Structure formats: structure tokens, C-alpha cells
Amino acid sequence: MSATTDTGDRVREFGAAVADGWTRERFGLLGAIGLILMAFGPSFQIYLFTDFLVVALFALGFNLLYGYTGLLSFGHGLFYAGGAYGIAVVLRDLTPVFADVVGAGVAPLVAFVVGGVVGLTLVVAVAVPVGWLSVRLEEIYFALITLAFGMLGYSLIIQDPAGLTNGTDGIIVLLGSVDLGGLSFRIGARRTYYVLTVAVVLAATYGTWRVVNSPFGTVCKAIRESPDRAAALGIDVRHHRWMTFIISAAIVGIAGVLRAGLASVASPGLTHWSTSAIAVIATVIGGATYFSGPIVGAFIFLYIRWAISRFPTLEAYWELFFGALLIGVVLYFKQGAVGGLLLARDRLLGDGADDAGGTEADSTDDSRSDDARTDRGDDS
């Protein structure tokens, strides 16, 4: 017993030393180095990691509504597709116009930027009325009405209104080559698009983090915990849910813009409920009450999916493996992978289970504020 206790004490001392030495800034620097090194990796791995970044942003936007306001949406694929179709239509129809105005060398870049803005504007324009109607309902009824709106958008896209969406075939997205004073590059090249995606995702993630840690984010958490108590304090619950819905949709729309360029197509499948379910699955796996939960969940989802695809026998039954994974998370990791890792960390450091699970909730991974402690066990 004494030898076992001595070994345990040494492990705790080592873990405490690591925890004290590896600050948030050092982890940030390590992450930045990893992102840079990834740009020099194999072409397919660059594509896969870019895909992960897009899905992570999709899940992060979804979780702003679900994890921080308590509203489960099965219709966020509508906004995902909105961003994709917005940029696809601009690239298809307006690139020749931009070439006449600014020159053929710069036109692809201008079209991409304008298309991204148009896609985001389209998403917000759709989210305003859809959110206004949806937030009048709660719990399962909210989930059902968002699902209905999503499938309505799916049906509308297939109908090809005014010849804009090209029906079931979707719109091919061609990212041209840019020539700026002798500097030439193709926007759609994997490494170029990876760098572009990293920049956009980091900016959007930081903006989301600021929203979560603002007074507005605090109000959202209060509404999630108890809408009635929040209303009694004078908070306009419905208005805040509406605003959160719009912000959430905008973040998902940015992910949709990036998806169109990565997949080289804007298709009706982006609007389908099964696409919305990807954000739900990633969030559940990672942990809804943690800011980094959807990001970790998206990484686990995509890379396990990729690992399964390496074996044809397993690939035929990949849904079975993911079903087992979700059951395991629900039964044994009620706060997701991030909650499980924090629980293991706290036990390793000898802090006990009482401090586990909520240290990073609704904030960053290392935050131990009082607000974060109150959030442990939210999705249990």
C-alpha cells in the first residue's frame, strides 16, 4: 500500500507541475505551431483538417444556441446551406461582371469576398423571421419547428426557384486563380484554402468566445438555467433567444461559405436534417457546456469516421460504431469528452471529483471562475 501511495503522490506532483507550467498562452502557442505545421502535411490530411475546421465552426455556432441558451435546433443546416448557396450564386453569375470592373486577375478574389458577404447576409435575412417564429416555442416544439423550416428550405432548393439553385444537382463552385502584380495563386488550392480557412475560423471562434463571455452571454446562461427566474429579474427571454438564434445562424453561415469552397459544390443535402445532426452529434460527443466541446467533438467525429473508412469491412457498418460511441458518451461521459478529460485531470491532480466537470464550462479550458463552477452537469 505504501508503494502504491508513494507512486500516486509522485504522479500527482508531476501532474501539478505540468498544470502549473503549461499556461493558456503556452497552449495557444503550441496550437499555432500545430496549425502552421499542418500546412506542410500530406495533401489529403490538409483537406481532412480543413474539413474538421469547417465542421468545428458549424458545431460551435450551433452550440451557442443549444449549450448556452438551452434550445435544441434540428434546422441549422438551413443556414449552413444558405452561406454555401449565397457564395455559389455570386461566383457563378457575377464573376464575369467583376472581371470587367476590376480586371480578370483580381476578379476571383473579389468574387469570393463579395460572395461570402452575400452568403452571410442571406443567412441573417432568413434567420430573422425564422428565429422570430421559432423562439415562441420551447423544448421539443422548438426542435420540431426548426426541423420543419430546415426541410422546407430543402424542398425549396430542390424546386430550383427562378433557376437560382440548379435543383438536385446543386451549383458547382469554382475558385479561380488570382494574379496580383506577378503574385499568382489559386484560391481553391488545398494549402491556400487551408490558410484561408484557418484565418476565418480563428476570427469567428474568437468572436464567439467574446459573445459567450460578455454580459449578453451571461444572460443567455441565466435563461438556460431558469427562463422563469430570468424573466422575473426583468430579462426579455424571448428577445434574447431571438438574438442568440440570429448570431448562431450567422456563425453557421460562415461555416457554410467555407464548406462551398472546400467541397466545390453547394448542394441541397446541406439543408437536410442529417446535416444538422452532424452539429448535434459533435456537440454531444465533445460536451455542450464547454466552449471547446463542439471543437473536440468535431475532431473526434471526423477522425474516427476517417479511421473507420480505412477498413472496408468496418466502413459498411460505420453507423453501428457511431451509435455505440454515442451510447457510451451518454451513459458514461454525460459532460462529453472535454468533461471526461477534466475529470481525469482533477483526479490525477488529487482535486477530487467535486471540482471536476465544470471548471471550463461556458468559458475557456483553464477557467475556474464561479460562473463556470455553477455550470457543471448541465447536460447530464
What is the domain partition of the chain in residue ranges? 1-38, 46-285
Tens digits of per-residue pLDDT, 8-26?
Answer: 555 555 555 555 556 667 7
Tens digits of per-residue pLDDT, 293-324?
Answer: 999 999 998 998 888 888 887 777 777 877 78
- Residues 284/336, Cβ–Cβ less than 8 Å: yes
State what percent of residues in the chain have pLDDT above 90. 48
Tens digits of per-residue pLDDT, 225-261?
Answer: 888 899 998 899 999 999 999 999 999 999 999 999 9
The per-residue pLDDT for 366 is: 42
Q: Which of 338, 362, 376, 336 is nearest to 208 (CA)?
A: 362
- Residues 266/171, Cβ–Cβ less than 8 Å: yes
Q: How far is CA 88 from CA 54, 135, 281, 288, 370, in A?
A: 17, 30, 27, 32, 45
The predicted model scores a pTM of 0.85
